[in-house]
Amino acid sequence: MPHPFATHAGVRRLVTAAIAAPSVHNTQPWRFRVDGAAVMELHADPERRLDVIDPRGRALHVSCGAALLNLRLAIRTTGHRPQVRYFPDGTADATLLASVGAVPAPMPALEQAELYARIPRRRSNRRPFGRRAVPAPVRGELAAAARAEGAMLAWPGPQTTAYLLGVVAAADERLAADDRYLAELRRWTSFRARGDGVPRYAFGPRPSGRGVPVRDFGAGGTEPGRDVDDFAARPQLGVLLTAGDGPADWLRAGQALQRVLLTAERHGVAASLLTQPLDRCGGTRARAGGHIQAIVRFGYGAPVPGAPRRPYPEVLTRVRPS
């Protein structure tokens, strides 16, 4: 098979898969650069960093890590194996997060091919979920997906879940009283058609105040026609943890999170994130050890539409050899 970076169609396919990844408030804070036909670079886009919500750049790196996982899966389906160098030495470009090569390899196992096929179908589902619990074998597969990327997905019991929900609710109240936070949130939510941000149709219903304290993307407004609904009081939460809490750990967390979300989609499990405790401060040290990089709400719910994406030419630079 031809090298995946050798043709325009091949590069387009890879980048299209990568940019389907989830990102904080759908900011899509990534750029890609192909130099010749040997290496594709993943760069952070500092102009899309959230200065108030994400002062350390943690969420930006997690978002870019999710895009990197998609890129790796897309390369595998071409009959090649990705070779990733994180934060390559010898470059003065502080935005460069990883360089990715590709070498011939056998076609991927069925599981990897299925995860790749799920990339365009993965959604952040901000609606209430039903009462059906995620079965233990599926939870085991989701935990194994996190381990495959060097992270851990823990399943808290009732007491820890109640504690986490209290932490989320307290963080949500603090953020809702922060004018700078609300202004930044409004910049990335939209009632107009655009290629990024969280559109109105993806907000989900306004939380009634009972059950899970989901983020109100309406930023405290009273949009006409928007539903108000209860969210489950005892949700199925998963907590993604890493051993450290620096840029390399955040990239690892993003790849683990995306593998977990694609595995969930493969099993028909819906998911959304409760990130309020992580906003402004970054990863939180868990009482059981490790740094919390994501709190994920899992369950079963009606399908939801996907959020928009920028066209791939906006995020790709291709350098031709002279």
Tens of pLDDT, residues 68-118 = 999 999 999 999 999 999 998 766 678 999 999 999 999 989 999 999 999
Measured CA to CA, the distance from residue 130 to residue 123 in angstroms comes to 17
State whether 141 and 243 are in the same domain: yes
**Looking only at Cα atoms, what is the longest distance across the chain?**
62
Residues 36 and 176 in one domain: no
Q: Is residue 104 part of a domain?
A: yes
Categorize the per-residue pLDDT at 215 as very low, low, confident or very high, splitting at 50, 70 and 90. Answer: confident
202: CATH: 3.40.109.10
pTM for the model stands at 0.94
pLDDT classification of 252: cutoffs 50, 70, 90? very high
Please report the pLDDT score of residue 322 as a whole number. 45
Strand 30-35 versus strand 80-86 pairing type: unpaired
Same domain, 172 and 285: yes
Does 313 share its domain with 294? no
Whether 249 maps to a domain, the answer reads yes
pLDDT of the residue at 224? 56
Q: What pLDDT score was predicted for residue 90? A: 66
Report the domain count for the chain: 2
131 within domain boundaries: no
Q: Is pLDDT at 255 greater than 60 in this prediction?
A: yes
Q: What is the mean pLDDT of residues 183-212?
A: 83
Determine the Cα–Cα distance for residues 36 and 39; give it in Å rounded to an integer. 7
- Residues 6+ away with beta carbon under 8 Å from 127: 204, 205, 229, 301, 302, 304
Query: Do 269 and 314 share a structural domain?
Result: no
- Domain identity same for 234 and 274: yes
37 part of a folded domain: yes
Mean predicted lDDT score pLDDT of the chain: 90
Token pair belonging to 238: 């998963």
In this structure, the answer to whether residues 142 and 38 fall within a common structural domain is no
**Residues 78 and 214 both lie in one domain:** no
| In-domain check, residue 127 | no
Owning domain of residue 151: 136-299
158 and 82 within one domain? no
In a domain, 117, yes or no: yes
Lowest mean pLDDT among 20-29, 90-99, 104-113, 166-175: 90-99
Residue 298's alpha-carbon distances to 132, 259, 265, 280, 287, in angstroms, are 10, 14, 10, 24, 22
- Specify if 130 maps to a domain: no
Q: Is residue 160 domain-resident?
A: yes
Share of the chain above pLDDT 70, in %: 90
**Going by C-beta distance under 8 Å and a sequence separation of 6 or more, which residues neighbour residue 109?**
none
CB 63 within 8 A of CB 21: yes
Identify whether the C-beta of residue 54 lies closer than 8 Å to the C-beta of residue 154: no
102 with 148, same domain: the answer is no
Q: What is the mean pLDDT of residues 40-56?
A: 95
Residues 142 and 192 occupy one common structural domain:
yes
Cα 74–Cα 307–Cα 257 angle in degrees, nearest 5:
50
Tell me, yes or no, whether 143 and 107 share the same domain: no
